[in-house]
Amino acid sequence: MTFSSSLRSPSLKMLSLVTAEMEPPAPYHLLTSVVAPRPIAWVSTISAEGISNIAPYSFFNAVAGFPPTIMFSVSYRRREPKEKDTLRNVKAVGEFVCHVVDEALCGEMVKTAVDLPRDMSEFEATGLETLPATEVKPPRLKDAPVAMECKVTQIVPVEGATNVMVLGQVLRFHIRQDLYRQSLGLVDTVKMQPITRLGGPVEYTKIGELIHLSTPQNLA
């Protein structure tokens, strides 16, 4: 580890860490505390045998607008079976539903991160209520403020990593009516209050103070 002075405030020292010299999983923990808050994709899938599954993924974001496309990234387990059920299901069926997690649902969300045997559905284990999706086979959560029905477009191994990135095109949005700002075509994200993830295993947050910033037309 090396130190130098921060440019803005010389009294604040900067640390410099070389990831290749860090003991795993330290780089992972550091990264997730820096790239934060991360939204949580609560992803429902279904197996070829018809067993439905739901699990949270915070390596998640929007990656394209036209057509609307999202990604989430699934790590391999260290133990067998290495492939998580979500990845196995999206490979087999090519579809998923991505839900937003709000405060009312976050207790149930963490329960669905528990490793269950492949033939057991988190929906039965938790009692979460579902509805049939319209465009895809996996069920959607009845109480999620937003659900996005997606078809898988790409499954991309992350170079040198034990992760696989799943990209999906959003075919249909389900939005709780009170959250939709029709004139703007936006969800009221502050009202929705999605739960987002910080670093480490237990830290989450909600949206704090709203600030407005306009991108200037030029730098003059």
Residues at the site binding ligand FMN, with contacts judged by CB under 6 A: 40, 53, 55-59, 73-75, 84-86, 110, 113, 115, 197
Q: Which is nearer to ligand FMN, 156 or 186 (CB)?
A: 156
CB 174 within 8 A of CB 140: yes
Q: Which is nearer to ligand FMN, 87 or 147 (CB)?
A: 87
Q: Which is nearer to ligand FMN, 55 or 152 (CB)?
A: 55
Q: Which is nearer to ligand FMN, 91 or 180 (CB)?
A: 91
- Which residues does 71 contact at the CB level (< 8 Å), separation at least 6? 60, 61, 63, 165, 166, 167, 168
CB 167 within 8 A of CB 160: no
Q: How far is the CB of 72 from ligand FMN (least distance, A)?
A: 6
CB 90 within 8 A of CB 155: yes
> Closest Cα partner for 37 from 205, 160, 151?
205
CB atoms within 10 A of CB 126: 16
Alpha-carbon span 173 to 194, nearest angstrom: 16
Q: How far is the CB of 124 from ligand FMN (least distance, A)?
A: 13
Q: How far is the CB of 176 from ligand FMN (least distance, A)?
A: 21
3-state secondary structure of 54: strand
Alpha-carbon span 117 to 94, nearest angstrom: 21
Q: How far is the CB of 114 from ligand FMN (least distance, A)?
A: 6
Q: How far is the CB of 71 from ligand FMN (least distance, A)?
A: 10
What's the maximum distance between 2 C-alpha atoms anywhere in the chain? 62
Q: Which is nearer to ligand FMN, 46 or 55 (CB)?
A: 55
